Structure 1
Amino acid sequence: MPNVQEHYHFLHDIPELGFQEFKTSAYIASQLAQAGIPLTQGVNNTTGIVAEIDSGVPGPVLALRADMDALGHVIDGVACARHTCGHDAHSAVVLSAAQQLMQEGAIKKGRLKLLFQPAEELGTGALAMLEGGALADVEMILGFHLRPQEECRLGQATPAVLYSACSTLEATIKGVPAHAARPHQGVNALDAAVQAVQAVNALHLAPGLSWSVKATRFLCDAGVTNSVPDEARVVWDLRSQENAPMATLKQKVTQAIQHSVAALGAHAEVVVLKEMPAADIHEDATALIRAAIVDVLGEEGLLSARTTPGSEDFFFYPVQLPQLKAGFWGLGCDLLPGLHHPDMRFDRRALEQGVHIFKAAVVRMLG
């Protein structure tokens, strides 16, 4: 049976974008089947997989979740998919843990469910799994993520990663075209877009809150250089450590965009492209993970909770199912230079540690 390193290398070499993880899903499904673990493919008509190890003895239902998709990059002018967020590692770790638990007969009570989720980067993969009923009977779910070196080193792990809420807003700004020699006859969408960026940059929330907003894409082209452009598109990335301030921030950003462009005679239509909720972590799940980390890495390897401005669609699970106890931990692996960097790399020895931590958590609850 392949080990976690072999799983990782295979998955790393076949990166696929969200909802297109066909080869990835096929490989994971074949490995689960070879281990004798019953599974369902194509959850909610996606590439998602749900597998289950049933002890045959009444008990709790615990789920482990791994994401499968890669990131889209443009490298040397070529669009490509690349695993720069570690989802290949996440799938390899959960797959290996499941195979070993099955082989060892470690599940003595209840059931262990395994979720291999598509499209985390799109922010819609968890919602697709929820709509497919993947967690209908689950009491607790555990997820994890590789952590950057500045947060967590090799041989360390944090039992709770407190992710932020994230929203992606796009404004389509409409002006009036005109010849560049007669700009007074038109409304310059480029000028209006620049005004909108400055207006958003001038926003403020309460100083005690943790939040940010910044423009991340600006597209405007009349097709020629001697015409006033009549359309521009700008994308903003919004972050908030809590969900309530995010609602306020979205409202303020939308108003700032619409009012600032209106002052120049333009119009803006603002839509939400993607959003993810802030972390919703249950103390029971965190306590289980904390104990598992100590089992594997000792007290010296256990870190405190870590707060991050990053976002994770995992938290749609507890938000949509309030009775669900969710836990999300971070694995140190000396990851450099950073998540989502085209040259992201990490110490592969951490993969075995991840497998053992998940196994320890499962045995504590279902062993």
Structure 2
Amino acid sequence: MSKTLEHYQHLHAIPELGLVEFKTSAYIAQRLETAGFKVTRNVNGTTGIIAELDSGKPGPVLALRADMDALGHIIDGQLVARHTCGHDGHSSVVLATAQEVMQEGIVRHGRLKILFQPAEELGTGALAMVAGGALDDVDMLLGFHLRPLEECAKGKAVPAMLYSACATVEAVISGSPAHAARPHLGINALDAAVAAVQAVNSIHLAPNLTWSVKATRLLCDAGVTNSVPAEARVCWDLRSQYNEPMDELKAKVLTAIKHSVAAIGASAEISVMKEMPAAIVDEQMTALIAESIVEVLGEQGLTEAKFTPGSEDFFHYPRQRPQVKTGFWGLGCNLTPGLHHPEMRFDLEALAIGVRVFKQCVTKVLG
């Protein structure tokens, strides 16, 4: 009997932020060990987990990946961790899949690896797992994500989710303070920040590309209203459907910030705080997923591949290890009002569908 809902209820009640998923990781690792997997904890010094099942017979190495971290929300003035991106659902599905694959003796040749990854929301978890050797012997890697209702309803699934590249750029802009009555004696960091925002807004890429850049945070305060502020912090969110235009966009943003603030005598310390690549999916893996979806949900349950302006650190895996064939699919679950919304909810019965699709994939590759 599937323990998917049991896992979900437990994990949903203990949300933890990226890289501090201690209780989450301990729960998952203990159950994998009890199921009979060889388990490696604390991958690369993180909360990451690698579980292995070796059939003892030659064959490919297939890996399934789930993310474990929750999001931080300010609620009633307090920062709280809350599972509003469905990672508790992802972990529950992959954990239950691993248990059932072991119980049913599905793996008859090759090896199955199960990856539980920290810090997806920080954009660093996949990179930490790669550095910890998680993919060194992997031939194929599959992941998935719960989808919002407007993209995919319960009873349907998406064979390939085509995520966008994203980056977060921060500029710490330095001017010099002065009395507001004598602004010529200082350099106004707020003016420089506004100039930088306007300069970035003037960037253009080819109009046939899907991309965006926008300022998302501006912090500037001299402490009083009659002084010229000496420092400002500005963040920009960058998005691109493909990786190559993202490289061009990022270069233009960095140049625009640097020269616009310099025009009024300020300077900027610019950093790229987070980057996630655009989707890289293998046609063979997408076909495998599509066949598995049809076998579980019928032809009517299979949708076309879908593009999303959201981003996923899963795609660091194929970017870092291009020899690994990757597939990433979406599970319809009537999720509302949206991912990352503090009151996000979905139909829990859909989680069982996720387990069945993954089991079909494992059966086709290793059965």
- Please classify the TM superposition score into its range, dividing by the shorter chain length: over 0.9
Q: CA deviation at 1:237?
A: 0.5
CA distance in 2, matches of 1:138, 1:203: 41
Deviations 1:142-192 (A, max 9, x none): 000001111100000011001111111001111110112211211111111
Q: CA deviation at 1:34?
A: 1.6
The amino acid that maps onto 2:290 is R
User: Aligned partners of 2:77 and 2:190: how far apart in 1?
Assistant: 25
Partner of residue 104, structure 2: 104
CA distance in 2, matches of 1:285, 1:309: 22
Task: Please give the alpha-carbon distance, in whole angstroms, between the structure 2 residues aligned to 1:77 and 1:214.
Answer: 26
Aligned residues: 367
Q: Is residue 279 from structure 1 mapped to residue 275 from structure 2 by the alignment? A: no
Q: Does 1:118 align with 2:111?
A: no
2:162–2:279: 8 Å Cα contact kept in structure 1? Answer: yes
- The equivalent residue for 2:221 is 221
Deviation for aligned residue 1:107: 0.9
* Aligned twin of 2:268: 268
Distance 2:22 2:174 in 1: 39
Where structure 1 has 5 or more consecutive residues not aligned to the other structure, the ranges are none
Q: Does structure 1 residue 355 correspond to structure 2 residue 355?
A: yes
Q: Show the counterpart of 1:95.
A: 95
Secondary structure of 1:40's aligned partner: strand
Q: Which residue of 1 aligns with 2:56?
A: 56
Give 2:181's aligned amino acid.
A
Give the residue type in structure 2 aligned to 1:191: D
Question: How far 1:269 sits from its partner (Å)?
Answer: 1.8
Aligned Cα RMSD in Å? 1.0
Q: Which moved more, 1:218-227 or 1:306-315?
A: 218-227
Compute the TM-score of the two structures, normalised by the length of structure 2: 0.98
Match of 2:44, SS state, is: helix
Give the equivalent residue in structure 2 for 1:66.
66
Deviation readout 1:108-127 (Å, 9 max, x if unpaired):
11111000001111111111
Partner of 1:142: 142
How far apart, in 2, do the equivalents of 1:234 and 1:286 lie?
39
Percent of pairs identical after alignment? 70
| Deviation of 1:278 (Å) | 0.8
Give the superposition deviation at 1:260.
1.6
Alignment of 1:96-245 (within 5 A): 96-245=96-245
Q: Which letter maps to 1:131?
A: A
For the residues of structure 2 that align with 1:199 and 1:342, how far apart are their CA atoms?
A: 33
Structure 1 position 2, deviation (Å): 6.8
Structure 2 distance, partners of 1:125, 1:115, is 11
Q: CA deviation at 1:196?
A: 1.1
Is 2:8 the counterpart of 1:3? no
In structure 2, what is the Cα distance between the partners aligned to 1:5 and 1:276? 30
**Following superposition of structure 1 onto structure 2, how do residues 271-310 of structure 1 map, counting pairs within 5 Å?**
271-310=271-310
Q: Distance in 2 between matches of 1:190 and 1:340?
A: 31
Deviations 1:43-63 (A, max 9, x none): 111100000111111111100
Q: Distance between the aligned counterparts of 1:59 and 1:257, measured in 2?
A: 52
Kindly provide the CA deviation profile for residues 184-213 of structure 1, in whole angstroms up to 9, marking residues without a partner as x: 211111111112112211211100001000
Output the CA distance in 1 between the equivalents of 2:30 and 2:269: 46
After superposition, the C-alpha distances for 1:50-89 in whole angstroms (9 at most, x for unaligned) are: 0011111111110000000111111121111111111110
Amino acid paired to 1:113: K
Comparing 179-188 with 357-366, greater Cα deviation is found at 179-188
> Structure 1: how far apart are the matches of 2:50 and 2:290?
26
Match of 1:74, SS state, is strand
Greater displacement, 262-271 / 331-340: 262-271
Q: 2:313: which partner in 1?
A: 313
- After the TM superposition, which segments of 4 or more aligned residues of structure 1 sit over 4 Å from their partners? none
Report the alpha carbon displacement of residue 225 of structure 1 after superposing the two structures with TM: 2.1
Tell me the secondary structure at the aligned position of residue 11 of structure 1. Answer: helix
CA distance in 2 between counterparts of 1:179 and 1:345 reads: 51
Tell me, in whole angstroms, the C-alpha distance in 1 between the residues paired with 2:190 and 2:347: 45
Structure 2 SS opposite 1:195: helix
Matching residue of 2:13: 13
Query: In structure 2, how many angstroms separate the alpha carbons of the residues matched to 1:314 and 1:69?
Result: 13
Does structure 1 conserve the Cα–Cα contact (< 8 Å) formed by 2:2 and 2:100? no
Q: Which residue of 1 aligns with 2:249?
A: 249
Residue ranges of structure 2 left out of the alignment (5+ in a row):
none
- Partners of 2:197 and 2:77 in 1: how far apart? 27
TM-score (norm: length of structure 1): 0.98
Give the secondary structure class of the aligned counterpart of 2:329. Answer: strand
Letter in 2 for 1:127: L
1:109 is paired with a residue of what secondary structure?
coil
Which amino acid in 1 is paired with 2:63?
A: A
Tell me how far apart the structure 1 counterparts of residues 286 and 167 of structure 2 sit (CA, whole Å): 26
